[in-house]
C-alpha cells in the first residue's frame, strides 16, 4: 500500500467527507459512490473514503470508539493489538518503571497509542513510508510520541535514549501470514539480539510459534481474548514481571482476567482477577487422591486432610485456627479419589495472610504422633456415621458395582474404618512426602487478586521451606495425560438392610473426564433426571407416586466414568421403579429429545452454572479442578457457548451409547 491510496484524505475536504459518510450496506457502495460523484467529489477521494470506512468498521472490534478517528491499512488492522490487550502491554511497561519506549515496527500505532495514554514517551519506528504516515496521523494527539520512518535494524538504540523496546515484527505479506519467525520483518533472532543493548525487551509474536524459538530465560505469555488465542508475548529484563517461565492470560466477557504461570520447581499458579469483588479465595491443589494410596496406606489421603490443620513448625493447631479467625476468614479442605485441596476465603486485603498460612500447612506439617492418634478416632467416628446413613452406603455400593469392589476407584475415599485403625503414622508420612511437592502443587486463586504478587509470595515461601525452585523443573504429568481408559464390568449388587425405604440404582460405565461428549451428557442427564420437569421425576413421582426422590447423575475420572439413575422407594415398588427407570432411559436413547426439552435443559444448566459460579470460592474451585484434571482453563463465557452449541442429535447419540453398554442394578434396603 502506498501513500497515494489515502493521501486524498489528508486534506480538510477529505476529513470532512470521511466524517460525514452516510451509513450504508456493502452492496450499496456503488450507489453511494455515484451520489458522492454528483456532489463534486473526485473519484480518488471517494475511493479512499469508502475504503477507509470499511477498514474502520472492521477495526471497531479491536479499537472501539478510537477506530472512528484513526486511519488503517488492511494488514495493519489484522496485525494490530486489540486496544484492551495493548493496554495490558502498556501497564507492564509502567509496572517495570520504564520511561521511554522504542516501539519497533509500530504499524498503524495501536500499541504506541496505549503506551502514550499511560504517559510514556515513545519513539515509534516504522519502515514502510505509507504506514508511518498513517501512524503519524493516528498519534497526533500525543505530544510525547515521535514517529520515525526508518528501518529498525539500522537505528542506534543508544542515541534514541530509550530504556525499553517493544517490537511487533511484520508477520504478514500480501494479506498472508508468515509462519517462519526468521522470515518476519525483522527476523525474530534480530529482535532478540536487541536486548544486548536494551535488556528490557518485549516482543509480540504469533500464538502458534514453535516452542524451540522461544528463549528460556524470558517470560512468555499467551493471551486468549473471549475464547480465541490471539497472540503471545516474549518479555525480557524488568518487563518479565513474573520471572522466567510460561503463562497464559484469558480475558473473559465479564472483564475478569484469567492468568496461568509455571514457577520454578514446576509450581502452577492460576488466578482469575474479577473486578468489583471484595473477597478472594485461594486453594492449594494436589493431583493425588485415595486411588494413589499404596498397599498399607489406605485412608492416608483423607488422614492428611485432617492432619495438615494440626500444626507446623511455625504454628500449632490453635494458632492456625486463630490466624483465620483474626481476619474473619474461612478455611477447609476436600479429598477425592484423584485430588486433594486446601482452601481459604478471605477479604482481598488479607490474601497475603491466607497464602502464608496455607503454604505453611501444606509444606511444613509435622504429623505429630499425638495428633495422628486423636484424628484417627475422629475419622473412625466420621466413617461410622456415614456407614449408618443408608443413602451413603447405597452410593458407595453403586461405586463398587461399576468400578469393582477391590479397585482403586471402587474403594471409599476415606478408606474403611479398619484401614484407618491399621494405617501407621509412617505410612501417612510417606504418602505426604511422596506426593506433596513443587511439581504437584497448583495454587488457584479468584476474586480481587494480584497474580504477580501471588506468584512472588508463593515462590519466596517455597524457597524458604526448602521445596524445589529448580528453574528447569516442569509440572508432573496429569493423570489424564498418562492413563489408559479402563474397560469396566459392572455387577449387580444387593445389600439387605432394615430401612424405611430401599435405595435403587441403575448404572453403566460412562465417560472419562476429558471426553468431548461432556456437554451433551450434561444436557442428557438433565433431561432424564435433572429436576422436577425431568422425565424420571414426572414418570416415577408425579404420575405414579412411587418415589419421593429420583435423579440421574454421572461420575468422571481420568480413565473411567459412570452414569447412574437413582430412586428411593418402598420395598414393594423396587421392581416397578427399576422397570420405569430403564424404560425412560431407553426411550430417550431411541427417540431422542424435543427442542423444548433441549432448550429447558440448556436454561437449567445455564442458570445453575452462573448462579453457582459467581462468588470467589466457586471461581477458584473451577480453576483448580480444571488445572488438576485436564488443563482446559475455560472461562464461564466459553462454557456457556459450549453448552448452547449442544444439539438434539448429540444428546440422542450419547444416550444411545450409554444405553448399549453393560448395565448393573444396585439395591440397598429390601425388595
Active site residue 597: no
Q: Which residues, other chains included, contact 98 with Cβ-Cβ below 8 Å and sequence gap of 6+?
A: 120, 163, 164, 200, 238, 239
CA distances from 628 to 223, 287, 304, 440, 443 (A): 21, 6, 18, 9, 10
Cα separation, 367 vs 380, whole angstroms? 18
Cα separation, 264 vs 280, whole angstroms? 24
Alpha-helical (H) ranges within 147-217 are 157-160, 188-193
Cα separation, 309 vs 237, whole angstroms? 40
Do 217 and 182 meet the contact criterion of CB atoms below 8 Å apart?
no
Quickly list DSSP for 301-316: HHHHHHHTTSBBSS-B
According to DSSP, residue 27 is labeled G
Q: How far is CA 256 from the centre of its chain?
A: 11
Strand-pair partners of 495: 668
**Where does residue 392 rank: exposed (0-12), middle (13-18), buried (19+ CB within 10 A)?**
middle
For 350-366, give the secondary structure using H, E and C: HHHHHHHHHHHHHHHEC
- Whether omega for the bond prior to residue 552 falls within 30 degrees of 0, making it cis, is no
Q: What are phi and psi of 39, to 5 degrees?
A: -80, -5
Among residues 305, 396, 597, 638, the one annotated as catalytic is 305
At residue 49's C-alpha, the angle toward residues 46 and 53, to 5°, is: 140
The single residue listed with the C-alpha cell 432424564 is 528
Which residues are identified as catalytic?
A: 305
Amino acid at each position: 500500500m502506498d501513500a497515494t491510496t489515502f493521501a486524498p484524505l489528508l486534506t480538510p475536504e477529505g476529513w470532512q467527507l470521511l466524517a460525514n459518510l452516510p451509513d450504508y450496506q456493502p452492496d450499496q457502495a456503488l450507489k453511494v459512490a455515484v451520489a458522492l460523484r454528483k456532489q463534486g467529489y473526485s473519484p480518488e477521494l471517494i475511493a479512499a473514503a469508502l475504503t477507509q470506512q470499511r477498514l474502520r468498521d472492521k477495526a471497531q472490534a479491536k479499537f472501539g470508539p478510537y477506530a472512528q478517528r484513526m486511519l488503517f491499512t488492511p494488514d495493519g488492522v489484522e496485525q494490530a493489538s486489540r486496544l484492551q490487550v495493548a493496554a495490558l502491554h502498556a501497564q507492564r511497561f509502567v509496572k517495570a518503571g520504564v520511561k521511554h519506549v522504542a516501539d519497533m515496527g509500530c504499524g498503524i500505532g495501536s500499541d504506541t497509542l496505549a503506551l502514550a495514554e499511560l504517559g510514556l514517551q515513545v519513539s515509534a519506528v516504522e519502515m514502510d513510508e505509507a504506514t508511518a504516515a498513517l501512524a503519524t496521523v493516528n498519534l497526533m494527539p500525543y505530544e510525547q510520541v515521535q514517529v520515525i520512518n526508518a528501518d529498525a535494524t539500522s537505528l542506534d538504540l543508544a542515541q534514541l535514549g530509550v530504556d525499553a523496546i517493544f517490537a511487533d515484527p511484520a508477520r504478514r505479506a500480501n494479506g498472508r501470514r508468515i509462519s517462519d519467525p526468521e522470515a518476519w520483518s525483522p527476523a525474530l533472532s534480530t529482535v532478540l539480539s536487541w536486548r544486548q543493548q536494551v535488556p528490557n525487551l518485549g516482543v509480540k509474536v504469533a500464538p502458534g510459534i514453535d516452542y524451540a524459538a522461544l528463549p528460556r530465560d524470558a517470560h512468555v505469555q499467551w493471551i486468549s481474548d473471549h475464547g480465541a488465542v490471539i497472540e503471545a508475548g516474549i518479555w525480557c529484563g524488568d518487563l518479565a514481571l513474573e520471572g522466567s517461565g510460561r503463562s497464559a492470560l484469558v480475558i473473559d466477557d465479564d472483564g475478569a482476567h484469567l492468568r496461568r504461570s509455571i514457577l520454578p520447581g514446576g509450581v502452577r499458579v492460576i488466578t482469575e482477577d474479577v473486578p468489583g469483588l471484595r473477597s478472594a479465595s485461594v486453594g492449594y491443589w494436589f493431583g493425588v487422591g485415595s486411588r494413589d494410596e499404596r498397599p498399607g496406606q489406605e485412608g492416608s489421603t483423607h488422614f492428611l486432610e485432617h492432619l495438615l490443620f494440626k500444626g507446623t513448625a511455625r504454628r500449632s493447631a490453635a494458632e492456625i485456627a486463630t490466624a483465620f479467625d483474626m481476619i474473619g476468614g474461612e478455611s477447609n479442605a476436600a479429598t477425592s479419589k484423584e485430588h486433594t485441596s486446601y482452601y481459604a476465603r478471605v477479604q482481598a486485603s488479607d490474601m497475603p495472610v491466607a497464602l502464608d498460612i496455607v503454604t505453611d500447612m501444606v509444606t511444613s506439617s509435622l504429623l505429630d504422633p499425638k495428633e495422628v492418634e486423636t484424628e484417627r478416632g475422629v475419622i473412625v467416628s466420621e466413617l461410622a456415621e456415614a456407614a449408618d446413613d443408608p443413602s451413603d452406603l447405597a452410593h458407595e455400593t453403586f461405586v463398587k458395582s461399576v468400578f469393582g469392589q477391590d479397585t482403586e476407584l471402587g474403594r471409599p475415599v476415606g478408606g474403611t474404618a479398619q484401614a484407618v485403625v491399621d494405617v501407621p503414622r509412617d505410612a501417612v508420612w510417606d504418602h505426604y512426602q511422596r506426593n506433596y511437592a513443587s511439581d504437584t502443587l497448583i495454587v488457584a486463586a479468584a476474586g480481587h487478586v494480584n497474580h504477580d504478587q501471588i506468584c512472588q509470595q508463593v515462590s519466596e515461601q517455597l524457597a524458604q521451606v526448602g521445596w524445589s525452585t529448580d528453574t528447569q523443573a516442569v509440572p508432573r504429568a496429569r493423570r489424564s495425560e498418562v492413563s489408559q481408559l479402563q474397560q469396566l464390568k459392572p455387577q449387580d449388587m444387593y445389600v439387605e438392610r432394615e430401612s424405611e425405604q430401599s435405595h435403587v440404582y441403575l448404572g453403566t460405565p460412562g465417560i472419562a473426564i476429558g471426553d468431548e461428549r461432556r456437554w451433551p451428557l450434561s444436557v442428557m442427564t438433565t433431561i432424564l433426571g435433572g429436576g422436577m420437569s425431568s422425565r424420571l421425576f414426572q414418570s416415577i413421582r408425579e404420575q405414579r407416586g412411587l418415589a419421593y426422590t429420583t435423579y440421574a447423575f454421572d461420575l468422571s475420572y481420568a480413565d473411567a466414568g459412570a452414569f447412574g439413575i437413582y430412586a428411593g422407594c418402598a420395598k414393594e415398588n423396587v421392581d416397578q421403579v427399576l422397570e420405569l427407570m430403564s424404560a425412560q432411559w431407553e426411550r430417550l436413547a431411541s427417540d431422542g429429545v424435543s427442542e423444548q426439552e433441549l432448550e429447558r435443559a440448556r436454561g437449567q444448566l445455564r442458570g445453575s452454572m452462573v448462579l453457582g459460579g459467581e462468588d470467589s470460592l466457586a471461581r477458584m474451585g473451577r480453576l483448580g479442578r480444571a488445572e488438576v484434571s485436564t488443563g482446559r482453563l475455560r472461562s464461564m463465557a466459553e462454557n456457556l457457548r459450549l453448552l448452547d452449541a449442544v444439539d438434539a442429535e448429540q444428546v440422542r447419540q450419547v444416550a444411545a451409547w450409554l444405553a448399549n453398554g453393560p448395565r448393573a442394578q444396585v439395591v440397598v434396603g429390601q425388595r
